[in-house]
Structure 1
Amino acid sequence: MSAPGLPARLAAAELLIGVLSDGIMLGDLVDRLPDDLPPPARARAQSLAAMVLRNLEPIDTVLEQFLTRKPPARAMQALRIAAAEMLIDEVAPHAAVDAAVRAARNDPKTARLSGLVNAVARNISREGFDIWAQMDPQRLPNWLRTPLVRAYGEDTVDAMERVHAGGAPLDLTLRGDLPEGLEGEMAPTGTLRRYRPGQVSALPGYDEGAFWVQDAAAALPARVLDAKPGERVLDLCAAPGGKTLQLAAAGADVVALDISSKRLERVRQNLDRTRLKAEIVRADALKWTPDAPFDAILLDAPCTATGTLRRHPDLPFVKTGEENKSLVQLQRELLERSAQWVKPGGRLVFCTCSLLPSEGEVPVARFLETRPDWTLDPIDAEALGGDAEWCVDGALRLRPDFWAEQGGMDGFYIARLRKKA
């Protein structure tokens, strides 16, 4: 019989190997986990892997104090997971040590190392906490840290790194009233924040479609667009569909367009669960043309997603920054093309979940320089429940270190543009 929690820990080790050795995104790896792995174990595996990734550098520093050389991958992952459970997740040391030893014995290639795993894990349980208390948060990779320091300063980037190390609470956007039994803290912007996430599908109101998962920052672009009942609205690059749901819940006539059939299936599932309606279109936006102009368009453009590291700590290990140049070009093309589909007097919200100005401020500034028929429509952050410091030159520049004591938020750039009548 499996030890309690062992399947989740074994799955977490496989996820870590997939990210660190094979360069595969964590979300893709989770989709490949065995179908017979129960949902709670699947969620725990993902949580453990993410916890290790966002603290890999300091965890390995602790392990180095008790290792003369790095063991094979699966033994190393067992130790990393045990260290994370003890030092961060407050799992009882005897349980974390026992699970690490069982994980080592589970693989014929590492069974002979179970004694080493046991000794190192026990040393961590005795001496690791004092070492851990002196560790600084994990630093961002240089390809990202250097431009961020240039844009925001060293102190701000240090603050971002502290927030990244803590992970992210679970943020929910409500369709209407708060369902009975669903607990959380209501943020000023209207997001329900849960510090003990739990299994999402088991939360009160899930089956009734009373909410959907959406970071507090990601919920703001649709609020900035402010769709009205009956307006014809396009959600461009719509998947996984959180903004589509917001626009549909506001009563707009929504077209949700994305290039990925697989990701659009998630949009369809979310619409079905929440009992909301939108027209789903699978197409390449650079080749597609609507049959009529829109009152408003929300363009959540593809980007490096550097603002989402709280929730996606695998990104620094999978991406290199080389993607930035091609993405910036794609953002400019999508902005230019979608601007053609807006009615005179209509509005377009351009946003990216990136912290890099090259994927936010720069493309919007260049667009406005060449398009005298468009103007920037300033956003009032305080009217949205936010803080004045979120506004920079009329747009929203959101950062992970905002709301730091409450768990932070995703990094986002949001600009509202209006087509002159």
Structure 2
Amino acid sequence: MSKPPFPARRPSAGPNVPGLAARALAVKAVAGVLGQDQALEDAFDDASLEARDLALARMIAGVSMRRYGTIGTLLEKLLAKGMPRKSGPLEAILITAAAQILFLDVPDRAAVDLAVRLARADDRAQAFSGLANAVLRKISAGKEELLAAIPPEADTPSWLYKRWSDQYGTATAAAMAAAQRVEPSLDLTVKADAAGWAERLGGRLLPTSSVRLAHNGTIRALEGFEAGQWWVQDAAAALPARLLGDVAGLRVADLCAAPGGKTAQVAAAGAKVTAVDRSAARLQRLSENLKRLDLEADVVTADILANDLQAWKAEPFDAVILDAPCSATGTIRRHPDVAWSKSARDIGAVADLQRRMLGRMASLVKPGGLLVYCTCSLEREEGEEQIARFLDGSKDFALEPVLSDDIGGIEGAITPEGFLRTLPSLLPDPDPVMAGMDGFFAARMRRKG
């Protein structure tokens, strides 16, 4: 590759340089994850870019975090003295540029040029713009050889990959790690006529009744969005609500309800729903989604661990869904920053929180009613072990095993104990984009009496 003609003067970083604003936003998003424990998506909330640039920024940032292990390994090899200290956004600039060179359909020359411009425009990184140029040119020149030397599991943190190997075996751990390297499809839950909407949108009807699209455009532009005919929800996330069976006319509480996918499911099925979450801001989004979908629910801002249950619980419910806070390791394929923002300590902390929440559930479920506990975690401490402990200490509840018909017959998603356990490597497909699902755990329990 010939050397691009970089200007001698410090170049403009203004919006008149095509593509630069999108790269700057991607750098900001990645830097927020690496240095400030910020969720990747938070960087885009107030972005004022045009739709095309915003989509490009999201794509670059997403691939940067999805392949962060590979890119970090390459940078470690190429930076003999390590990442320079006090270099500001240099690391994020290199990561996002490398992601474009290695994994996106972006001209290498443009990726290098814009990265160097961003470095030169920052007071802390400008001294290292020459280094950035040299490193990125090396990646461009030798990308095939460099990538061939890195195993797929490099994009999963070593502590997490070891946990998965111990819990699920090395073959399954490798399959999950590989699935999480691919940007996933878009899954929709529809209010009615799932087969018809799959045909209208050019998608595929999954055995779970979710509609899957190979789509990376603007969601609002899809047919049926404004009319409230469907909502975005991973196929795995749609399964726990199905475990309640026919809920028409029943009183159902959805706890930790935001952003509201499960609330919408049970409301669309005819239940009288009470949606509870401690975050008023997240509940506002839930309410907006329900309005678009023309669905109703009683929306309550409350902390279920606080002593305010009577403020919203007039009597026990026919069914309760507890989608408990968790480490979210099952959502890495859709939220790749989770892999690099969590640690083993987080798992212990949320497992304790889940235990305390489960301890408060007995009084919310009427005798003979159902309790469905679920998490979007792949860790046994937050799933199988949590429920085993709960049932051992509770005489009021008995496990009601999940059946194949409850989940559309997905192979390999029911454990020997009768729990639901989906993995990113389930739902195989020749097209990796159309394969997989989030990692979820769910247990269905019935209150005795």
Question: Does TM-score exceed 0.5, indicating one fold?
Answer: yes
Aligned-partner Cα distance in 1 for 2:438–2:80: 39
Contact 1:227/1:296 (8 A) holds in 2: no
Residues in 2 aligned to 1:198 and 1:117: alpha-carbon distance in whole angstroms: 31
Asked if the contact 1:23/1:317 (under 8 Å) is kept, the reply is no
1:118-267 mapped onto 2 (5 Å cutoff): 118-137=133-152, 138-177=154-193, 178-179=196-197, 181-267=200-286
Determine if contact 2:367/2:448 at 8 Å carries over to the other structure: yes
Distance 2:246 2:278 in 1: 23
Q: Structure 2: which 5+ residue stretches go unaligned?
A: 1-14
Q: TM-score, normalized by length of structure 2?
A: 0.87
Comparing 20-29 and 60-69, the one that deviates more? 60-69
- Paired letter, 2:440: F
* Contact map agreement 1:233 1:253 (CA 8 A) in 2: yes
Cα distance in structure 2, aligned partners of 1:106 and 1:22 = 21
Counterpart contact for 1:381–1:396, Cα < 8 Å: no
1:314–1:118 CA distance, 2 compared to 1 (3 A): same
Deviation at 1:350, TM superposition (A): 0.8
3-state SS of paired residue (1:389): coil
Answer yes or no: is the 8 Å Cα contact 1:227–1:247 preserved in 2: no
Where does residue 96 of structure 2 map in the other structure? 81
Aligned pairs for 1:106-125 within 5 A = 106-111=121-126, 113-125=128-140
CA distance in 2, matches of 1:75, 1:303: 32
Distance (whole Å) between structure 2 residues aligned to residue 227 and residue 47 of structure 1 = 40
Distance (whole Å) between structure 2 residues aligned to residue 117 and residue 275 of structure 1:
52
Moved more, 272-281 or 187-196: 187-196
Match of 2:16 in 1: 2
Paired with 1:84 and 1:310, the residues of 2 have a C-alpha distance of: 16
Question: Which of residues 319, 325, 334 is equivalent to 1:302?
Answer: 325
Aligned counterpart, 2:9: none
Deviations, residues 295-346 of structure 1 (Å, cap 9, x unaligned): 1111111111111111122123222222323322221222232222212221
2:374 paired residue number: 351
Distance in 2 of aligned mates of 1:278 and 1:379: 27
Distance 1:336 1:120 in 2: 54
Q: Which amino acid aligns with 2:243?
A: V
CA 305–295 in structure 1, closer or farther in 2 if over 3 Å, else same: same
Confirm whether residue 48 of structure 1 aligns to residue 50 of structure 2.
no
Partner of 1:293: 316
Match of 1:394 in 2: 418
- Is the Cα contact below 8 Å between 2:251 and 2:319 reproduced in 1? yes
Tell me the distance in 2 between the aligned counterparts of 1:331 and 1:175: 31
State yes or no: 1:384 paired with 2:407.
Answer: yes
Q: 2:135 & 2:159 partners in 1: Cα distance?
A: 33
SS at match of 2:142: helix
Alpha-carbon distance, 1:404 to partner: 4.5
Is residue 333 of structure 2 the alignment partner of residue 325 of structure 1?
no
SS of match in other structure, 2:437? coil
Indicate conservation of the 8 Å contact 2:64/2:95, yes or no: yes
Moved more, 167-176 or 379-388: 379-388
Q: Which moved more, 1:236-245 or 1:372-381?
A: 372-381
List per-residue Cα deviations over 1:34-72 (Å, max 9, x = no partner): 4x2234433432332221112112113334454444353
Distance 1:250 1:205 in 2: 19
Matches of 2:109 and 2:157, distance apart in 1: 34
Q: Give the gaps of 5 or more residues in structure 1.
A: none
Counterpart amino acid of residue 421 in structure 2: R
Query: Which moved further from structure 2: 252-261 or 97-106?
Result: 97-106
Matched AA of 1:98: D
How far the C-alpha of 1:101 sits from its partner, in A, is 3.1
Contact 1:382-1:388 within 8 A present in 2 as well: no
User: How does 1:19-58 map onto structure 2 within 5 Å?
Assistant: 19-31=33-45, 33-34=46-47, 36-58=48-70
In structure 2, do the counterparts of structure 1 residues 224 and 5 end up closer, same or farther at CA, with 3 Å as the change threshold? farther
Q: Name the aligned partner's letter for residue 182 of structure 2.
A: G
Assess if the C-alpha contact under 8 Å between 2:66 and 2:155 holds in 1: no
Does the Cα contact within 8 Å between 2:88 and 2:124 map onto a contact in 1?
Answer: no
Deviations 1:269-314 (A, max 9, x none): 1111111111100001122131011111111111111111111221
C-alpha displacement at 1:170, in angstroms?
A: 1.8
- Cα RMSD after superposing both structures: 2.2
Displacement of 1:114 in angstroms is: 4.0
CA contact (8 A) 1:227 1:233 kept: no
Distance 1:280 1:229, change over 3 A: same
Q: Answer yes or no: is the 8 Å Cα contact 1:232–1:295 preserved in 2.
A: yes
Amino acid corresponding to residue 47 of structure 1 in structure 2 = M
Percent identity between the two aligned chains:
44
